[in-house]
Chain A
Amino acid sequence: MREINVNDLIPVVADMCIDATCNLGDDVIRAYEEAIEREESPQAKEVLKRLLENARIAKEEGMPACQDCGFAVLFVDIGQDVRFVGGDLTEALTEGVRQGYEKGYLRKSIVDKPATERKNTGDNTPPVIHYNIVPGDKVKITFMAKGGGCENMSRVTMLTPAQGLEGIKKAVIERVRESGGNPCPPIKVGVGIGGTFEKAALLAKKALLRKIGEFNPDPEMAAVEKELLEKINNLGIGPMGFGGRITAFSVAIETHPCHIASLPLAINIDCHVSRHKEVEI
């Protein structure tokens, strides 16, 4: 067994919170640049140039690219040969989020008693943590700062097997159309197909971790991703919904076997900044 002290994870998580919110991914920067080239609307082109400039300022000044520094979502893949020592793992990861949001001057956006009091917890905790046990003796932590505006545009829907692939495509396109300028397009569309109600949602969220420009290894699903991306970009919503060619940077589908009676579908939308980082320990 490999021993890992949970306290060593605190600064790792804290740094990831700051890095993800202030330094946008290379794939996002490339997507802005390519979109500036491809966009036909002069107004939309101007928006994209400002977004690229915003990313530069955020990085240079160590400021979050977006004031909504998101819900802290952690995916933790734990090798089964790892033994955690030194305390409670979940508490250590939570402390990492707490320290990162404080040290990085990141906005605290989490409220307790959501249906009633809605009091801000003041430190952006608790995070949502998805643990997964995998072979080996490594720990991989993926941090995602998930914005609230785009999360609100997401949906889980239980289709019937008869609705099939056509029903899936229709539902995804309609969801993006109805979302319009709300989720800060150009968006990323994460699609979870199959599993159960909650599995589909998790698949859709994990799909958002895929880099822009990468497709599903299954050629059939990759073809669906490309078709959906083209159709979404034909909607004309454009950056910020002002009208334009580039409505989405990517569509990423993840699938899982499902029940003979079901066809669960989850659509998780991410805004253009698409903030996530990963570290392997």
Chain B
Amino acid sequence: MSVIRLTPPLDEETLSKLRIGDHCLISGVLYTARDAAHKRMVEALDRGEELPIDVKGQIIYYAGPAPTPPGKPIGSVGPTTSYRMDPYAPRLMEVGLKGMIGKGPRAKEVVDAMVKYKAVYFAAIGGAAALLAKQVKEAEVVAYEDLGPEAIRRLVVEDFPVVVVNDIYGGDLFVEGVKKYAKEG
């Protein structure tokens, strides 16, 4: 299985080469944000304010890590279910977000927004949180510290494994994959 190496910020040329089912290893910066942080970010945009992080070309990882044990850069950190961020995701793509990492399928409006704004959605393995924590080299809270596990963290990752679920062409791995293995009747 061939692997594509990615380093954010993601440019259009890189995004244009990604197709559903591609295995990628991401190195560099990821930002964690989940339900509460998304709500706050979109509320900030609605008020005409700047976001606490510059999302242009960046990847948001839908995750809230376990507390950091002594001697480690971060606690267990796997993806959370993505559809809960669907009401907010198109708005962030509109201001330049290029990648999202989570688990589970996205709403049609989000898939359409990915085509419109040229962004991709990756899946990480849900529940593989101890394993994924090993790929995180640094972590620091950069916004909304009061949200605890839901605060926005800046992670520096190395070879963080993900699979392309939705590409900029409207493809959907969940739809295609399930079609291939369904035995109806």
Contacts and interface: CB of A to CB of B under 8 A. Distances in A.
A105 B149 CA distance: 12
Contacts of B83: 182
B69 to A, nearest CB: 5
A168 interface: no
A69 to B, nearest CB: 6
Contacts of B67: 105-107
A79 interface: no
Given A54-B128, A182-B103, A271-B126, A149 B80 contact: yes
Interface residues of A, number: 50
A40 interface: yes
B65 to A, nearest CB: 5
Most buried by B among A64, A180, A234, A240: A240
A235 interface: yes
Contact of A120 (B147, B163, B181): B147
A241 B174 contact: yes
A107 B173 contact: no
B168 interface: no
A132 interface: no
Interface string B67-108: 111000001111011010000000000000000000111000
Nearest to B124: A240
Interface stretch (B8-16, B50-58, B112-120, B129-137): B129-137
Contact of B123 (A65, A69, A149, A181): A181
Contacts of A42: 1
B25 interface: no
B125 interface: yes
B4 to A, nearest CB: 15
A118 to B, nearest CB: 7
A271 B79 CA distance: 13
A220 to B, nearest CB: 23
B75 A64 contact: yes
A37 B66 CA distance: 31
B121 to A, nearest CB: 12
Contact of A149 (B65, B69, B126, B128): B126
Nearest to A121: B148
B17 interface: no
A105 B128 contact: no
A66 interface: yes
A231 B105 CA distance: 21
Contacts of B78: 66-68
Interface in A108-126: 108-109, 118, 120, 122
A118 B36 contact: yes
- Could you say which of B163, B178, B183 has the most chain A C-beta atoms within 10 Å of its C-beta? B178
B134 A57 contact: yes
Interface stretch (A197-205, A242-250, A255-263): A242-250
Contact of A241 (B69, B104, B149): B104
8 contacts: A50-B128, A63-B75, A107-B64, A120-B150, A149-B81, A180-B105, A234-B184, A242-B173
Interface of B: 1, 21, 36, 63-69, 75-78, 80-81, 83, 103-105, 123, 125-134, 147-150, 161, 163, 173-174, 176-185
Given A180-B105, A184-B127, 6 more contacts: A120-B148, A122-B148, A184-B103, A240-B103, A242-B173, A244-B181
The 7 lowest CB-CB distance pairs between A and B, nearest first, are A243-B177, A236-B182, A236-B181, A182-B104, A184-B126, A54-B131, A58-B130
Interface of A: 40-43, 46-47, 50-51, 53-54, 57-58, 61-69, 105-109, 118, 120, 122, 149, 152, 180-184, 234-238, 240-245, 271-273
